[in-house]
Structure 1
Amino acid sequence: MKFQRSGLVAGIALTATIALTACGSDNDSKPEAGAAAPSAGTCVGGTISAQGSSAQKNAMDEWIKAYAASCTDAKIDYNPNGSGAGVKALIQGLTDFAGSDSALKDDEQPQADAKCASPALNLPMVTGPIAVVYNVTGADGLQFSSTTLAKIFSGKITKWNDPAIAAENTGAKLPDATIEAVHRADESGTTDNFTKYLSKTAEADWTFGNAKAWKAPGGTGANKSDGIAAKIKSTPNTISYVELSFAENSSLQAAKIKNGAGEYTELTADSAGKTIEGATIKGTGNDLKLDIDYNAKTAGAYPIVLATYEIVCSKYADAAKGKAVQGFLKYTSSAEGQAKLKDLGYAPLPEAVRAKVAASVAAIS
């Protein structure tokens, strides 16, 4: 398994708020059947305010529910208002930690460090496979290379029956209909990762780089992951990108994607995990910023994945706040917490990665 260090060492904004009540009380605080409860010793009281990535909303909802069922005197508020908003809130001191589908940028890191008065840590917590979703009547099982996707989302391919699409989908019933390419209207780590994939694998056809804000001309914007899923579900001849759990929740068609080995690969938790296993750590010390190889030639690997991070202070000015954040993240980074993800349309962290994240969480104070 490749997992190395480089650098110096090598739409709809829904707030998920749950007030936790005393463990063992007579109210409805018992874990639901089948829920992965926090391990002994991870429960810490206190109030945590967090915001950011909408892609990790479904994971957060389940984690908060399980933590609420077992822990005492805690309150966790997670507002999935987008990765860009979460990072800005952290830098402004308006949230205790941020969820983001991208690690802090070079210009954001020192700002976050200054606000924390300690190094801000990028901790990958969720493997969020990005599904290329579409709504084309009668065209099941479509597959795409990065080159074709780059041409679609840059407006170079405008019809579903374009020869480039037909060549990759022999026998598919492709209509003579205009493609409506849908992208995130708000700043999004999902957009950052999707455009990074295009820029790394289809450089000749994608000249817009990568960023949280959509840079290519044309297309239709939709807010948040829920908004993307709803738009594709309701609108024929559309195509977009969204985290897998939202695609599954809306029963959307997800395309197979050609990987670096030349295989058209179906998106599953296992195929996405193979790509994360090949990631390189760019951060130093307890910072676990990842560099993902979108051209990985690993057999069976699905190439469009993101690591959804929790961005935290390594040392909080309020020690009780630091312990509360640490307690919750001990659960999310535990084997029990990660086991919840596979049923939600995410991929659990590979064990070697999970163990490193758990060690970094243990150092938060």
Structure 2
Amino acid sequence: MRNLLARAAAPTAAAAVLLAACAGCTGDGGGEATVTRGTLTGRLSGSGATFPDPLFQEWMAYYGRHIETGVWIDYQAVGSGGGIEQFLSGTVDFGSSERYLQESELSVADDVRGCPAVQFPVVFGAVVIALNDDALDGLVLTSEVIAQVYDRQVTHYDDPAITALNPDMDLPHEEIAPVHRSDGSGTTYVFTRYLTTEVGFWAEEYAEGTDIDWHADTAGGDGNEGVARAVQESPGGLGYVNQSYALTNDLATARVVNEDGVPVEPTLAATTAASEEAEIPGDFQFNIDDIGGDGYPITGANWILAYACGYDDGTALLLRDFWTWVLTDTEADRFAAELGYAPMGRALKQRVIGEIERIDAL
């Protein structure tokens, strides 16, 4: 991604104030206790989306080295589907997904644990169309054309449908090699949700989901890193990956036409603009659809999945403290911005912190 320069995020709420108010809170909402920094010990385990994995690894390493040196957090990027499965089976302390839990999954969580699941967003990010050829950086695509590429209706870069969108580019007569996620993936959910809401034939033939029945003439990659690698190694490669993987691998990316007909480069500013159009209800179950203005149209969020009961006291405290730190420390926001993720705004963070306080041992 040649021109995607992440900008450092502006400071949000003061970390010390919110940590004193929330990090030591009990899940019954009566938490006046505070955490004395450097006193926590223990381990947390989590699994799920590969979408935020580069950022999660930075957050967890920094927290363990500089905030609570007695704490170790292990996160396995197994895909959103795997994260939901492991969360519901109780094999990890928290899960991570690029889609919120559906009603059936919330019911399973309640039955298994005997109390409600707690789910909350922590960061926004874009799903970008990565390209093998540097000369194609900035290629303009629409939702219709992207869907046709993955349905193998459009098979070459100089197809008239692409040429019409890029009159000033010298497009090669090269076959497009589309790559998709082969594992259960929240990135796939964000990508196919976008195509489903925008393209009629896609909604009818493929629909949205974390794992769909792809066209036989497309290739699969395991995780964002697998798709990025396949795009790099395949002549004509084209695939959808999280913004940060395009940055890390210095991949060329396409501009995607949004709801207002504007071809938008997947920059951090464009991701933020898209996230600001989302209407976020009290249960934090939302999608980011029909993005116009300066917003990049394929934008999603990452949710953390936890429980309102069933932890031991130490684990519940660590979960509350870590995720509150994520939302209140300016260093955490800096990591997000540098890696191409959009931190949440102050008002939304304060709402999410209230949800984090529900995580408890009772």
Provide TM-score, normalisation by structure 1. 0.84
Please give the secondary structure, in 2, of the residue aligned with 1:107. helix
Pairwise CA distance, 1:99:
1.0
1:10-159 aligned within 5 A = 39=16, 42=23, 44-68=40-64, 69-136=66-133, 138-159=135-156
**Cα 1:84–1:220 shift into 2, 3 Å:** same
- Contact in 1 for aligned 2:130/2:240 (Cα 8 Å): yes
Pairwise CA distance, 1:335:
4.4
Taking the aligned partners of 1:275 and 1:183, their CA distance within structure 2 comes to 23
- Contact in 1 for aligned 2:183/2:222 (Cα 8 Å): yes
**Cα 1:192–1:302 shift into 2, 3 Å:** same
- 2:188 aligned residue: 191
- Contact in 2 for aligned 1:144/1:165 (Cα 8 Å): yes
Where relative contact order (Cα < 8 A, 6+ residues apart) is larger, the structure is 2
Q: Which amino acid aligns with 1:200?
A: T
- Contact in 2 for aligned 1:182/1:240 (Cα 8 Å): yes
Please give the secondary structure, in 2, of the residue aligned with 1:138. helix
**Cα 1:117–1:72 shift into 2, 3 Å:** farther
Q: Paired residue for 2:341, among 346, 350, 360?
A: 346
Aligned residues with identical type, % of pairs? 28
Q: Paired residue for 2:325, among 307, 325, 331?
A: 331
- 2:33 aligned residue: none
Pairwise CA distance, 1:242:
0.4
Taking the aligned partners of 1:138 and 1:317, their CA distance within structure 2 comes to 52
- 1:167 aligned residue: 164
Provide TM-score, normalisation by structure 2. 0.85
Cα deviation digits, residues 35-86 of structure 1 (max 9, x gap): xx97565554321110111111111111112211221421211111111111
Pairwise CA distance, 1:308:
0.8
Taking the aligned partners of 1:205 and 1:97, their CA distance within structure 2 comes to 33
- Contact in 2 for aligned 1:38/1:70 (Cα 8 Å): no
Taking the aligned partners of 2:97 and 2:162, their CA distance within structure 1 comes to 33
Could you tell me which runs of 5 or more consecutive residues in structure 1 were left unpaired when the two chains were aligned. 1-36
- Contact in 2 for aligned 1:185/1:223 (Cα 8 Å): yes
Taking the aligned partners of 1:233 and 1:203, their CA distance within structure 2 comes to 31
Runs of 4+ in 1 over 4 A off after TM superposition: 37-43
- 2:173 aligned residue: 176
Cα deviation digits, residues 69-120 of structure 1 (max 9, x gap): 2214212111111111111001111011001111112321211222332211
- Contact in 2 for aligned 1:140/1:172 (Cα 8 Å): no
- 2:278 aligned residue: 279
Pairwise CA distance, 1:347:
1.1
Please give the secondary structure, in 2, of the residue aligned with 1:156. coil
Q: Which amino acid aligns with 2:71?
A: A
Taking the aligned partners of 1:323 and 1:117, their CA distance within structure 2 comes to 20
Could you tell me which runs of 5 or more consecutive residues in structure 2 were left unpaired when the two chains were aligned. 1-13, 24-36
Cα-Cα RMSD: 1.8
